[in-house]
Structure 1
Amino acid sequence: MILFWYCFLELIFPLAMGTGVLTAIMLMDQIYKFVPFLKATGLEMAPLIWMVVYSVPTILMLSMPISLMIGTYVGIHRLGQDSEITAMRAAGVSLSYLFRPVMALAFLVGLITTWLVMWASPWGVRSLEELKFEILKRQTKINLTVGKINNFFGQKSIYIFEQEGDLLKGVFIADWEDPEGKSMIEAQTGRIHFEESEKRIYLLLYNGRIHQLGEEENHRLIQFAQLDYNLSPPNRDRSNLPARYRDPSKGPQLNDMQMSVGRLRSEIERAKAGSKDQFEYIDEFHGRIATILSCLVFGIFALPMGIHDPRNPKSMRFVYMILMMILYYALYSQGRAQVSQGKGSIFMIYFPLLLALAIGLVNYFKINYDFGSLKEWVGHRFKQKKETP
């Protein structure tokens, strides 16, 4: 047990270091996206802290399996460089013993990842969207002032001539982000309406006109008695989301990161058999399972990569491991894309895991039995069987 805990603790520090570095890098990108909301709150620290807190579970879900691979490689490689693995083998301890601390750590990381995937990450994403909506409401109440051009998140300019209570008189809107063309809206009166169920904010405009300039510079004039104008929040680009999330007219949809496991399974059963929605839900569900299993597979894959070979110290195993990780995620992303479109089976999601597992086991047997190739190892085993009386 002393040897087990010694090896186990040697893996903890590089795992923690890798998780911290990867999480910090991913958070930098997230914080950049929070800038419009921070401007709306007057750059207060409390909203920023909560945004970071809500983002951490999702980021950890992605960074921990990768950090486990890097941490296993670094920890085992350090043991090899210090000749501790050589001493273990000289004392009669097989390399298979290293599977115990590596698998124990992989199992622990897998449990944490399971908690993140199943509960913490959906909670974080939902809470983050609710916080953004509260900031959006505050921005609307504070910045829509009378007699001033209000720059609403850099997407549109709103001018209000008069206000009596909650009634706005003389509303002018210049919207340069309208997908149908640049438009200017003028209305005699209007009111601000917060739709809590949809997490949206509307300007209810009455008796006005829309001046719209299309792509071919043609002018259209549209008159209306009532217009529910949606004050869309920033980051409206939904091109990276499944098809059912891209249409903002359908109301707020929970994406895969917002759904609990129970909700996701119920959506799979509720969706029409063979429909695009069902394929996408199936893809998301099995993507979560693959994320959890990747912790165990990455540990097995990285173990032989980290074993130091004094006869070939410049074997470039770390570069090889990084290239394999890139290949893994390329195949994984392609597999999920095919499954979500109904063009492939769920096996395509798990195939990269099986490939990484097979490569890891082959490399382990090559190193453990000091063979240069799998063919040599198979020949040796076959020879042993023939010699056995």
Structure 2
Amino acid sequence: MSTIQRYVLWEIIKIFLLCLGITVLLMTVGGGVNEGLKKGLPPGVILNMLPYFIPEMLRYTIPGCMLFAVCTVFGRMAASSEITAIKSAGINPMELMWPVLTLAYFLSFFTFWMYDACAAWSRPNLHRVVAESLDDTVYGVLRTQRNFKMSGFSVTVKSVQDRKLISPTFQVAATDSQPSIYLEVEEAELKTDPETGILQLMCRDGTVEFGDEGKFEFPDERVIYLDHLNSIELNEDSSTPANLTLKAIPRQIEREEGIVEEAQTDLAAMIQSEDPEAIDPEAIDTARNHLDHHQKRLFRLQAERQRRLSNGFGVFCFVCMGIPVAVWRKSSDNVSTFFTCFLPILLLYYPLLVIGEQTARDGHFGAAPVWIADAVLIAIGAILIWRVNRN
């Protein structure tokens, strides 16, 4: 690698890291802390959650920061006639571009890996932080919003006085170990057991309904253990594909294929019944809904890996657009050059990305549509680079 190539690459890396650091800091600390305080989360909980926001922010900020760095360096070089001087010396401008394109190529894979880091590390740990301080979190939110919802648990209150919840209504979803719970009481208090970490609901003078077991009234104090809220395991079988790791996706695809095949067989048996009187339209509708639900989840799972990869390669696509546009404009005003590049990306790339992802999730043409936006942007970028090198 020549001196000029190292110079360009180092300038790109410096500006990229500076821009990335500032952007992530503002979005994570500024946006995250501000939003957490607005929702009433305790400061300690917010600080513990901040590191786990970073991978979420990186996968959104890396493409834009890389585009800004490219526009800054190549725009400045073009404005000071350095690109013209390089051409006059018989050096093809592509010699300056390919190291940056190579960097963008590897950053694309890093961005792709960030999606797996979010699923495997960020979201489970965010869940753990909330679970470990669930009582403080619930109280903080209830003081500001009067209602709180989380993983099958919801509570609405009239008011909060110190640690007492006035006229609360609780709804707890059923688990393998306990039925669903619907509870209305005059007064209640939430407390985490210091030894087990299980959230306890201490309440009095109310009515509780345990699933199909009936409704019961109690005037005295009762303690209900909400142990399932403290589990940090995310259920793969019911989780959305975006929350799954790459390792878990093949298992889920295999599972959904089995469910879909079984559902299709059951539905066909219902429709083709020899006894017309035995056909139950309501049961057929239920079977169809069951089949549609799992078929849609299967399509989303099949497209998920390619969706993440295509989103990651947005970094490479942005750079393919940014380099020739910055050279063509010959302006040291990096902000205007950045927006000149970003506006067509905003109007063309992102709509195509949404359309492609939705088409793939609907099961049309497999996972190929998720690459439409990348293909269009790379094609435009390749034409512009060719014209820059030619002229």
**What range is the shorter-chain TM-score in?**
0.5 to 0.7
Match of 1:186 in 2: 185
CA separation in 1, counterparts of 2:16 and 2:23?
Answer: 11
CA deviation profile, 1:139-195 (whole Å, cap 9, x unmatched): 56xx69xxxxx84963133899xxxxxxx9xx96334999xxxx981379999799x
Find the residue that maps to 1:93 and give its secondary structure. Answer: coil
1:29 paired with 2:34, answer no
The correspondence for 1:174, drawn from 156, 168, 172, is: 168
Identity value in percent = 17
Amino acid across the alignment from 2:5:
F
Q: Write out aligned runs for 1:1-389 (5 A).
A: 1-27=2-28, 28-35=30-37, 39=40, 41=42, 43-44=43-44, 47-119=45-117, 122-138=120-136, 151=143, 154-155=146-147, 156-157=156-157, 173-175=167-169, 185-186=184-185, 203=201, 208-209=206-207, 223-224=215-216, 253-272=238-257, 273=260, 275-309=295-329, 318-326=338-346, 327-343=348-364, 345-370=366-391
Q: RMSD of aligned C-alpha atoms?
A: 4.5
Distance 1:54 1:252, change over 3 A: farther
Amino acid across the alignment from 1:65:
P
C-alpha deviation, 1:352, in angstroms: 0.2
C-alpha deviation, 1:287, in angstroms: 1.7
Distance 1:151 1:367, change over 3 A: closer
**Is 280-289 or 5-14 further displaced after alignment?**
280-289
CA deviation profile, 1:303-326 (whole Å, cap 9, x unmatched): 111104559x99x75444112221
**Larger helix share, 1 or 2:** 2
**Is 107-116 or 47-56 further displaced after alignment?**
107-116
Amino acid across the alignment from 1:127:
N
CA contact (8 A) 1:172 1:184 kept: no
Distance 1:231 1:338, change over 3 A: farther
The size of the alignment, in residue pairs, is 318
Distance 1:256 1:153, change over 3 A: farther
Amino acid across the alignment from 1:29:
G
C-alpha deviation, 1:264, in angstroms: 2.0
CA separation in 1, counterparts of 2:93 and 2:376?
Answer: 22
CA contact (8 A) 1:89 1:95 kept: yes
C-alpha deviation, 1:93, in angstroms: 0.6
CA separation in 2, counterparts of 1:200 and 1:269?
Answer: 35
CA contact (8 A) 1:76 1:307 kept: yes
**Is 7-16 or 343-352 further displaced after alignment?**
343-352
CA separation in 1, counterparts of 2:362 and 2:82?
Answer: 50
Distance 1:21 1:192, change over 3 A: closer
CA separation in 2, counterparts of 1:64 and 1:365?
Answer: 26
Distance 1:95 1:224, change over 3 A: same
CA contact (8 A) 1:190 1:206 kept: no
CA deviation profile, 1:237-283 (whole Å, cap 9, x unmatched): xxxxxxxx9xxxx9995444542210123212221357111122233
CA separation in 1, counterparts of 2:203 and 2:24?
Answer: 44
Q: Which runs of 5+ in 1 are unaligned?
A: 145-149, 161-167, 212-221, 234-244, 371-389
Distance 1:158 1:305, change over 3 A: same
C-alpha deviation, 1:59, in angstroms: 0.6
Find the residue that maps to 1:271 and give its secondary structure. Answer: helix
